[in-house]
Chain A
Amino acid sequence: MASVVDSDAVSLAEAPTRSLNMIEAINDALDIMLERDPDVIVMGEDVGYFGGVFRCTAGLQEKYGKTRVFDTPISECGIIGVAVGMGAYGLRPVPEIQFADYIYPGLDQLISEAARLRYRSAGEFIAPMTVRSPFGGGIFGGQTHSQSPEAIFTHVSGLKTVVPSTPHDAKGLLIAAIEDNDPVIFFEPKRIYNGPFDGYYDHPTKPWKDHPDAKVPEGYYSIPLGKARMVREGQALTVLAYGTMVHVAEAVCREKGVDAEILDLRTLVPLDIEAIEKSVEKTGRCMVVHEATRTSGFGAELAALVQERCFYHLEAPVERVTGFDTPYPHSLEWAYFPGPVRIGEALDKLLGA
């Protein structure tokens, strides 16, 4: 499998690039995989003629026809269940769940079926599907269009969970996810579809256009699942983040002049434990940031792993910065969101310790 990691990005540097936002990068990845692999099928609510409510599948039905890119009934159980059957046939379905908040009717098909097929059939049947779904808040989506349910999936044996944070990674990770022979949950942070969000909701959002990670190489490339990205190196502490929170954490650290080392995890399962250990052993401090609710969130897993594996390097307790344990409120979404104040306070606590 051709792949691009940070260390061997040299060949990529020579590939012509285009500046794309995350939606365009995802569309590009789907286009390339539909072209390369006749087994790839794209389906979901409104993804066909219309091209998806976020436009991620725009133009694909026209290009590849109605039996490769099509609309589905409003039935997430049906969408995932049908994708399991298609995978058993030998296709490589890429279903879209319109919002991560809508994925729950499909959970039995994901957890008891897709995630278990390989195991229960001892490899006779697999579920090589990639479930794409926009997730996260910050768009005034209210409690049913804002959730971050990644921890539900990381808790399930047999599922891989991926969250990109840049157009460059979104394309490479989505291609890797589609090529992967295990079921992959691919959460797209919709707050950063159009631009990297710094956490200040009252500032105008900068588009991706001039961001270095919006330079997306043309053509095929993949980023292996299970490899974190070093966003910036530093000495004072390690920040573990993914999705939208990578950008928010980065902005806060920059603003406060904190010499943070920021790791964008990119894949939650399988997790790049080596990168985490290496960084925390160097800095001796660790902050975990996610937008999802706190209790039993993925941050709890990260904090436990760091504590188990890096305890004698730690100079302070691991800090968790998360959303509150409430539904995502509509009018008070910025009170819920783990923004600059919450992150700043945690930084002060961690560095003052």
Chain B
Amino acid sequence: MARQSEGVGYNRPRLALHVPEPKYRPGDQVDFSHIAVPEAGAQPRPDETGPASETSPLCTDLVRVLGEDHQAHGPWDPRLAPEQLRAMLRDMALTRAFDERMYRGQRQGKTSFYMKCTGEEATSIAAAHALASDDMVFPSYRQQGILISRGYPLVEMINQIYSNRGDKLKGRQLPIMYSSRAHSFFTISGNLATQVPQAVGWAMASAIRHDSRIAATWLGEGSTAEGDFHSGMTFAAVYNAPVIFNVVNNQWAISSFSGFAGSERTSFAARAIGYGIAGLRIDGNDPLAVYAATRWAADRARSNNGPTLIEHFTYRAEGHSTSDDPSQYRSAQEREEWPLGDPINRLKQHLIALGEWSEEQHTDMDLALAEQVKAATKEAEKNGILGHGMHHPFHTMFEDVFEELPWHLEEQADQAIRERQIKWPQS
């Protein structure tokens, strides 16, 4: 339609649509100096039981503990014992080794799909260490670190990734969409942010039952644009639900930068202010900050002081998934220029600075972890890899749609088995 050139309103100013654009595209020189990185230890730590408004300044600040000197600073220092720091380091390194191997496995054709969490390990692993092991987690798709922290067997993870006959989920789910009730780990959905109101509902149920367990959920900054996120926030605020919302702001939602979820105007933690709940914006590559913030939020929830939104400011160092090629839409320099460093390296350097770790120990650990992953992979491969026939029996395709098989699924199961006999008469 042509612009209105006469009649009512013709002399009003022209409107213009703003379409966000990231600062850097492929080939661009990257300069992240516009990202404010405050001094570690400079942020105040309000009491966990205080009013939510006390956290409002922290929603646009950045809680940091580990400084450039590799020491822990300030009131958010969780003062963890060296054994606990080493356990966190090990879980992060194991997750990275696992990601490396699974990524290669996908490239070798052993499965259809994989998603790494490189650079974001702290956001799940340090959080898992700060929660009780029976607190219920409602993860998104990049929190494999929680399962690893909770001791879920690597072989089971690989069986799931290969969709083989050992897969406890019977080959029904896309790789990495794990589920483990025994590890208080909710079944992962491929639809984004649906887990947010679910975590709130679980937390409400726990409160209805006067239980002591709380819920925690993770989602990316991109999916905070989903209605489910806002529904979940509303319900959590209304019923003071014992739940922690972890927004992992890794800057990129596939090829869309965080501006498409609203980051040009304010932080994601600041969403908490509008809902009247506690909010913290933290250095997501600082495992001690993640641990401390999670512990703060967990203590708050456990003492009936309500929900907390934590924004983990971090960077997705790799592609969205094996189906993605980030060199098509962002500058390769971003990863190296990222001002908050790498979470594994930062914790390693901290332990070394404490005199509790060494380069040699770290190298030995990495070798041992790579061996551990390799052995688990070999073990899982005995159950088959995707597309090589070692899947669950045909009939399982029709099971668990309902508790009991209705007549129409029974008929369709018969058909599937008949088709199989026609396609593979020898089997």
Contacts and interface: CB of A to CB of B under 8 A. Distances in A.
Interface string B165-204: 0001110110001011100001101110010111111111
Interface string A72-89: 110101101111111111
Interface in A34-76: 41, 67-68, 72-73, 75
Contact of B228 (A41, A108, A125): A108
Contacts of A112: 189-191, 194
Given A120-B172, A122-B400, A273-B407, A73 B234 contact: yes
B221 to A, nearest CB: 20
Interface size bracket, B side: 35 or more
Contact of B200 (A82, A125, A126, A273): A82
Interface string B393-423: 0000000111100111000000000000000
Nearest to B210: A67
A124 B179 contact: yes
Contacts of A108: 191, 194, 228
B403 to A, nearest CB: 5
Interface in A82-135: 82-91, 93, 105, 108-109, 112-113, 116-126
B228 A81 contact: yes
Contacts of A84: 197-198, 201
Interface residues of A, number: 48
B205 A78 contact: no
**Could you say which of B173, B199, B200, B204 has the most chain A C-beta atoms within 10 Å of its C-beta?**
B204
Nearest to B200: A82
Contact of A125 (B172, B187, B201): B187
A125 B206 contact: no
A85 B234 contact: no
Interface string B206-250: 101100000100000000000110011011001000000000000
A160 B191 CA distance: 22
Contacts of B186: 88, 125
A89 B134 CA distance: 12
Interface string A194-238: 000000000000000000000000000000001000000000000
A85 B235 CA distance: 12
Contact of B201 (A82, A105, A121, A158): A82
Nearest to A269: B406
Given A85-B198, A91-B208, A113-B191, A73 B238 contact: yes
A113 B194 contact: yes
A78 B181 CA distance: 23
A85 B216 CA distance: 12
A109 B180 contact: no
B162 interface: no
Nearest to B233: A78
A273 B409 CA distance: 13
B199 to A, nearest CB: 6
B76 interface: no
A287 interface: no
B180 A124 contact: yes
A121 B234 CA distance: 27
B400 A82 contact: no
B98 interface: no
Contacts of A89: 136, 201-202, 205-206, 209
A270 interface: yes
Contacts of B407: 270, 273
B141 interface: no
Contacts of A343: none
Q: Is the interface of A mostly helix, strand, loop or mixed?
A: mixed
Given A81-B194, A82-B204, A123 B400 contact: yes
A86 to B, nearest CB: 4
Give the most central of B136, B169, B170, B202: most A CB within 10 Å. Answer: B202
A181 B402 CA distance: 8
Given A85-B200, A85-B202, A117 B228 contact: no
B138 interface: yes
A292 interface: no
Given A85-B199, A112-B189, A113-B191, A118 B231 contact: no
A7 to B, nearest CB: 19
Contact of A78 (B191, B202, B232, B401): B232
A250 interface: no
B181 A81 contact: no
A93 B198 CA distance: 13
B402 A85 contact: no
Interface string A1-39: 000000000000000000000000000000000000000
B230 to A, nearest CB: 8
A333 to B, nearest CB: 31
Contacts of A150: none
A271 interface: yes
A116 B191 CA distance: 12
B406 A75 contact: no
B53 to A, nearest CB: 22
Given A84-B201, A112-B194, A157-B401, A78 B231 contact: yes
Given A118-B401, A121-B187, A271-B408, A85 B205 contact: yes
A105 B403 CA distance: 26
A312 B200 CA distance: 54
Nearest to A111: B191
Contacts of B208: 41, 67-68, 91
16 contacts: A41-B205, A75-B231, A81-B201, A85-B199, A85-B203, A85-B205, A88-B136, A88-B186, A89-B205, A89-B206, A93-B201, A113-B191, A120-B173, A121-B187, A124-B181, A270-B406
The 6 A-B residue pairs whose C-beta atoms are closest, nearest first, are A85-B201, A81-B197, A78-B231, A82-B201, A89-B205, A85-B198
Given A81-B231, A88-B202, A120-B187, 13 more contacts: A78-B228, A81-B194, A82-B197, A82-B198, A85-B203, A88-B201, A105-B227, A118-B403, A119-B400, A120-B177, A120-B189, A126-B403, A180-B403
